Amino acid sequence: MATSTATPHGNERNPGVALRTDWFEQAAVNTQAAERRGATLTTRRTVKKEWQAAWLVNAIRCIDLTTLAGDDTPHRVERLCAKARQPLAPHILEGLGLDSLQTGAVCVYPTMVPAAVAALKGTSIPVASVATGFPTGLMPLPLRLAEIRYAVDEGAQEIDIVITRAHVLNGDWQALYDEVAQMRQACGAAHLKAILATGDLKTLRNVYKASMVAMQAGADFIKTSTGKEGVNATLPVSLVMVRALRDYRDRTGFRIGFKPAGGMKSAKDAIAWQILMKEELGNDWLRPDLFRLGASSMLGDIERQLEHHLTGRYAASSRHALA
């Protein structure tokens, strides 16, 4: 088990616990009920006008602004970091009465970490790096651990790892636990976000079990998807994962973060996932130390909606380019 340390917001970091299969082996998930809950989440609660603007501003604070393309360059990363430092146009920021605003993090490939660190110097925005053979994770474990250490040595403060899906599909919980525990150790002081690739796990029961094992092994966050699977973040899957978060907190006292990622593109999506967090876990989970949105393209629509809130008019989407 890892050593527990304090987070920037004062939360004690999850040290992990010994593998306890009795915490999840008998867990039952009502798939139809989860799907109904997801479908009605936004129909039972709506936010309008200044309340909607406040929720959208909070979403920006929680976005992991990301570029994970094969043609990434340091210059592209620098532009993305400039957007992370100033995610809203000055006239929108002024109209909302805000002095400053920044995104939750910038997420890049390991080789792009130095460019991001340099571009974000002087800010409190952390650099996150994917690692461990992202997005499939189908690399020998020693190489995956080496990739984590490389990204941390380059300056990454958060590491988004991918698990071996076969361990979940085969029910080999000890192998999954050992893998994530070694990854957590390789991260050192950097926080570990465990990507479960839920679209590959077949059942919601598997999602719950994988969530619990990742947390037992010391994950600081659990994350739905790489964004590269056929099915990425959905509200039913997210509901199961946040229920696992709640169960883990009730058993251990430690609060673990949640990051839905992939497939979320609109301001409406940003509000839907925040409603989920508020209703299931409370306001504490609406802060960037416990909640992130892995959806860069969402920022453009959020900025467009906030300008509409101020002016009553929708601007062309080209006015709010990501970078």
- CA angle, corner 76, sides to 295 and 101, nearest 5? 55
Rounded CA gap, 184 and 192, in Å? 6
Rounded CA gap, 185 and 20, in Å? 19
Burial class (CB in 10 A: 0-12, 13-18, 19+), 240: buried
Which of 132, 136, 205, 141 has the alpha carbon at shortest distance from 165?
A: 136
Backbone torsion region of residue 176, taken as left when φ is above 0, otherwise alpha when ψ lies between -120 and 50, otherwise beta:
alpha
Q: How many CB atoms lie within 10 A of CB 277?
A: 22
The catalytic residue among 83, 193, 209, 259 is 259
The reply to whether 284 belongs to the active site is: no
The catalytic residue among 83, 193, 209, 223 is 223
Three-state DSSP string of 39-108: HHCCCCCCCCHHHHHHHHHHHHHCEEEECCCCCCCHHHHHHHHHHHHCCCCHHHHHHCCCCCCCCCEEEE
Phi and psi angles of residue 275, each rounded to the nearest 5 degrees, phi first: -60, -45
The catalytic residue among 64, 160, 200, 289 is 160
What distance lies between CA 312 and its chain's CA centroid?
A: 32
The reply to whether 228 belongs to the active site is: no
The reply to whether 209 belongs to the active site is: no
The residues annotated with a catalytic role in the active site are 160, 223, 259
